[in-house]
Amino acid sequence: MTHNTQHASKTVIVHPLITTLLVMTLLCGGLVFADAHIEKTEEKAEENWIPLFNGKNLDGWIPKFTGYKLGENVGNTFRVEDGVLKVAYDQYKTFDNRFGHLFYRTPFSHYRLRVEYRFVGEQVAGGAGWAYRNSGMMLHCQDPNTMTKDQSFPVSIEAQLLGGDGRNKRPTLSVCTPGTHVVIDGKLDTRHCITSSSETFHGDQWVTAEVEVRGGDVIRHYANGKLVLEYHKPQLDESDADAKKLIKDGKTLLTGGYISLQAESHPCEFRRVEILLLE
């Protein structure tokens, strides 16, 4: 009994230096945690993504089809079903080159645009071979009010969306340039389409496509979060008839414009369309 009591009453003396070090370690750890938390919170606060598609209807969007006036949704091609924005062709007998573009109402300049898309079903009869599982996000588009009735594509920069055929390599998020050119590696590149380094996405899987647009400076394409293409100085093609009408005071650099989603003969779906505005 006496032995146990003496044992319990022993005092452990900790050197003051060790105490100080322990306190400092705890404080530093707390500061690091606090810094990380603040950093994460700030990062989250900056990521203010704005949905452009509300999941219910096409409010804020207006269609333009080749051969038709602005606002006419041919064959109910663009529609919303089960919370998904669909490009559908069940009311078509043949495609007849009725290329469609669904424009958002507001022009943008510096932003990140992100969509989740997939291709489904069969291509409508009469669609071109290159349009198989083919759509796009059109950037820096001309005002849809300035398009002619029979114009097939808006003057724009296209972040092309492609689906695989189950066999061959077919990367998504290449760039195509209707009425425009871009600069790559410091040189003007006049090819109509420039292939990205993306992998091929076969079947009906959902893919996240994102573009970072910095006005007339740089545009970057991301497939499922991976950078697959970068180019600079998007500009009007002075030799293109539609683009020539848009050149004012000799200025060809594109620093902003409208965005649109394509309908090129293959059914596809978008379950998310959102934008993050950049300074």
Say whether both 99 and 10 belong to one domain.
no
User: Could you tell me the sign of the dihedral formed by the alpha carbons of 53, 57, 59, 63, in that order?
Assistant: positive
Do 215 and 225 touch, CB atoms closer than 8 A? no
pLDDT over threshold 60, residue 155: yes
Say whether both 67 and 165 belong to one domain.
yes
Convert the pLDDT of each residue in 230-253 to its tens digit: 999 999 999 999 999 999 999 999
Say whether both 75 and 93 belong to one domain.
yes
Say whether both 99 and 27 belong to one domain.
no
pLDDT over threshold 70, residue 275: yes
Show the domain range for 131: 50-277
Mean pLDDT of 153-161: 98
Convert the pLDDT of each residue in 16-68 to its tens digit: 444 443 334 434 454 444 454 444 444 445 689 999 999 999 999 999 999 99
Mean pLDDT of 156-165: 98
Mean pLDDT of 122-130: 97
Say whether both 57 and 79 belong to one domain.
yes
Percent of the chain exceeding pLDDT 70 equals: 84
Mean pLDDT of 80-87: 98
Say whether both 26 and 152 belong to one domain.
no
Q: What is the pTM of this model?
A: 0.83
Q: What is the CA radius of gyration of the chain?
A: 27
Mean pLDDT of 157-184: 97
User: Would you state the pLDDT for residue 24?
Assistant: 47
Say whether both 73 and 211 belong to one domain.
yes
User: Would you state the pLDDT for residue 47?
Assistant: 84
pLDDT over threshold 70, residue 149: yes
User: Would you state the pLDDT for residue 279?
Assistant: 83
Do 221 and 175 touch, CB atoms closer than 8 A? yes
User: Could you tell me the sign of the dihedral formed by the alpha carbons of 124, 242, 238, 102, in that order?
Assistant: negative
Mean pLDDT of 165-191: 97
User: Would you state the pLDDT for residue 19?
Assistant: 45
Mean pLDDT of 148-170: 97
Where among 15, 31, 46 does a domain terminate?
46
Kindly report the backbone phi and psi dihedral angles of residue 151, in degrees, each rounded to the nearest multiple of 5, phi listed first: -70, 130
Structural domain count, the chain: 2
The CATH number for 156's domain is: 2.60.120.560
Say whether both 120 and 18 belong to one domain.
no
Averaged pLDDT score across all residues of the chain? 89
| Nearest CA-CA partner of 99 in 151, 157, 159, 172 | 151
Say whether both 42 and 153 belong to one domain.
no
Say whether both 42 and 171 belong to one domain.
no
Do 149 and 175 touch, CB atoms closer than 8 A? no
Q: Which H, E and C letters describe 51-91, residue by residue?
A: ECCCCCCCCCEEEEECCCCCCCCHHHCEEEECCEEEECCCC
Say whether both 31 and 54 belong to one domain.
no
User: Would you state the pLDDT for residue 23?
Assistant: 39
Q: At which residue do the structure tokens 């009906």 appear?
A: 204
Say whether both 226 and 95 belong to one domain.
yes
